[in-house]
Structure 1
Amino acid sequence: MRTTVSFPPIETLIPHEGGMVLIDKVLTYSSESIEVLITKQASSIVALESGEVPAWVGIEYMAQAVSAFAGLRALEKSTVIKKGYLLGSNRYRAYCDTFPAADPLVVKANQSLLDESGVSIFDCQLLFGETVLAEAAIKAIQPEDDELIKRGLS
């Protein structure tokens, strides 16, 4: 069942602050998918002088959409919003070199896998209107114990 309602501010759903918050708001959310809106790419810290955004930023847009999905799921379950980690992407394809400065862009992310360890895979698309600008499978993890990840990274 797809739900379209008023959602909490993005800053409360993802672990980024200030200029590193690249997505603007949640448009739709369900138990398996999310759509987020990006409206201020021309003034973003990742924008080129032209206002366009390099296509490699699409992975981060997708990762932030996945993070917002995890934040909403935590709120839905009345649990604490935990950090997640981007493990990588599969089949990232950008169909342009830069994303247009014109608004808006939309990221659609559909969860295709969630295992008991907290690893999930999302099939993502970045769209300008009906045109797909980029797509990828995003792999992320949201472990129960964040300390295990921190020790593994040090």
Structure 2
Amino acid sequence: MASSIETYIPHRGAMRLIDRLVSVGPDLVAVEADVRADRLFVQGAYLPAWVGVELMAQAIAAWAGARAMDRGEPVSIGFLLGTRRYVADCAGFAVGSVLRIEAHAELVADNGLGMFDCRIYAEEKELARAHVSVFEPKDGMAYLKESEGTPG
């Protein structure tokens, strides 16, 4: 099912770190990221492992975007709230590698809060894992304006 990821996520330009939607289901998504030397955050021959948290968040965004599209709604912005127990078994992801990022929805509440179990793999080897908390308000842009005190 590999398809253009920009259909499903709001991230553009250098901030888009994932490249393909591989599969999506009711509570699971898999995406791929090509680790290229010209990618934002790459240092020398590696993308630092701490960037894995953002890769996981963008995988979750792809899942949310696919769900929105299924409902006939536009893709919206969401917010990374935090992680629990982010563990990486490497200092960085090698340039030239293709990462597979999977996110499994453990909890998605009606108020937009969600918790996901996420994993990053390269060549079938698990390199990182975490529980990621996110928030997707009904209208992300209105939420941002309201939180800044700007009238909608």
Q: Is the 8 A contact 2:35 2:94 kept in 1?
A: no
Question: What is the TM-score when the length of structure 1 is the normalising length?
Answer: 0.89
In structure 2, runs of 5+ residues without a counterpart are none
Find the counterpart in structure 1 of residue 42 from structure 2: 47
Which 10-residue stretch deviates more, 139-148 or 29-38?
139-148
Question: What is the TM-score when the length of structure 2 is the normalising length?
Answer: 0.90
- Which structure's residues are more often strand, by fraction? 2
Find the counterpart in structure 1 of residue 137 from structure 2: 143
Find the counterpart in structure 1 of residue 59 from structure 2: 65
Which 10-residue stretch deviates more, 97-106 or 70-79?
97-106
Aligned with residue 22 of structure 1, among 7, 17, 20? 17
How far, CA to CA, are the matches of 1:115 and 1:103 in structure 2? 35
How far, CA to CA, are the matches of 1:42 and 1:138 in structure 2? 27
Q: How far has the Cα of 1:145 moved from its partner?
A: 3.5
Aligned length: 148
In structure 1, runs of 5+ residues without a counterpart are none
Find the counterpart in structure 1 of residue 26 from structure 2: 31
Does 2:140 align with 1:121? no
User: Residue type matched to 2:13 in 1?
Assistant: G
Distance 1:55 1:153, change over 3 A: farther
How far, CA to CA, are the matches of 1:153 and 1:86 in structure 2? 18
Query: Post-superposition, which runs of at least 4 consecutive aligned residues in structure 1 deviate over 6 A?
Result: none
Find the counterpart in structure 2 of residue 107 from structure 1: 101
Distance 1:87 1:10, change over 3 A: same
SS at match of 1:112: strand
Deviation string for 1:118-150 (max 9, x for gaps)?
101110000111211110011111111432344
Q: Is the 8 A contact 2:35 2:99 kept in 1?
A: no
Deviation string for 1:80-137 (max 9, x for gaps)?
2111111111111111111112321100110000111010111000011121111001
How far, CA to CA, are the matches of 1:34 and 1:98 in structure 2? 23
How far, CA to CA, are the matches of 1:104 and 1:19 in structure 2? 17
Query: Identity, % of aligned pairs?
Result: 34
